[in-house]
């Protein structure tokens, strides 16, 4: 039998790794990528120790040639890409007065353009099989532009629009496209170091647990097509919105 692959683009130490683990528990072969693939070694070893199959790759999601080669390699050597999760982060706060064109372009490339490249490649393979799931990680900035986040918000708004367009085009071809808005702090090292009330918020479920968040991605993958969700809005109970 051909292996079914979950490809996690941007498998960072928190959200991306948690998503990779959840899909491996679901029985899919995991292919995880990040710009420095060496950092994936602990994740790949952890998944492999459970008896599941996982592979790590170095790939710049903004590089069109590298992205095309990655998809082709996985399809040829590992299995059919069943689900793609685009989870590249680019949350860099800065005043509009300090945002030069280079910074703006880089954030757009990471959070929006890379989503287009990976979403398009996923669609090219999935439309041939008439099945698949493409999930895009969004943020509060996907729906609201806060002060100091002009570059990030514009890119995340663009990614959301991309996901909407793809969902309408690919849904009739049995491909589920969904966008997950993460509206709240996720339990990461950065949050731990920069939130003075971290311990209190964690104890009262005021910070999103990566593993609990990742469960939502697998739930979207498992949804029957008569009840697909396009946008899932995730936040702690106490988060204002």
For residue 141, count other CB atoms closer than 10 A to its CB.
26
Give the pLDDT confidence of 2-35 residue by residue, as tens digits. 899 999 999 999 999 999 999 999 999 999 999 9
For the record, the structure tokens of 60 come out as: 């710049």
Q: Which CATH class is domain 4-234?
A: alpha beta
Strands 4-9 and 29-34 come out as parallel
Give the pLDDT confidence of 192-241 residue by residue, as tens digits. 888 899 999 999 999 999 999 999 999 999 999 999 999 999 999 988 87
Please give the backbone phi and psi of residue 7, each rounded to the nearest 5 degrees, phi first. Answer: -100, 115
Domain boundaries, the chain: 4-234
- DSSP conformation letters of 154-215: HHHHHHHHHHHHHHHHHGGGTEEEEEEEE-S-BS-HHHHHH-TTHHHHHHTT-SB-HHHHHH
């Amino acid at each position: 039998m051909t292996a079914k692959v979950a490809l996690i683009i941007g498998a960072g130490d928190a959200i991306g790794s948690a998503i990779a683990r959840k899909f491996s528990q679901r029985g899919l072969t995991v292919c995880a990528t990040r710009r420095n693939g060496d950092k994936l070694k602990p994740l790949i070893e952890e998944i492999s120790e459970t008896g599941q199959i996982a592979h790590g790759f170095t790939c710049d999601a903004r590089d069109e040639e590298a992205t095309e080669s990655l998809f082709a390699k996985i399809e040829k050597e590992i299995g059919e890409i069943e689900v793609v999760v685009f989870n590249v982060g680019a949350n860099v706060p800065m005043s509009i007065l300090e945002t030069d064109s280079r910074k703006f372009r880089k954030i757009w490339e990471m959070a929006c353009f890379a989503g287009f490249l990976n979403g398009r490649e996923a669609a090219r393979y999935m439309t041939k099989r008439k099945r698949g799931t493409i999930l895009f990680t969004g943020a509060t900035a996907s729906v609201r532009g806060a002060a100091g986040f002009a570059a990030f918000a514009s890119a995340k708004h663009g990614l959301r629009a991309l996901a909407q367009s793809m969902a309408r085009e690919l849904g009739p071809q049995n491909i589920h496209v969904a966008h997950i808005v993460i509206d709240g702090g996720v339990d990461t090292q950065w949050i731990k170091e920069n939130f003075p009330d971290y311990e209190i918020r964690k104890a009262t479920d005021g910070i999103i647990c990566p593993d609990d968040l990742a469960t939502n991605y697998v739930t979207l993958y498992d949804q029957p097509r008569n009840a697909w969700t396009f946008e899932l809005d995730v936040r702690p109970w106490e988060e204002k919105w």
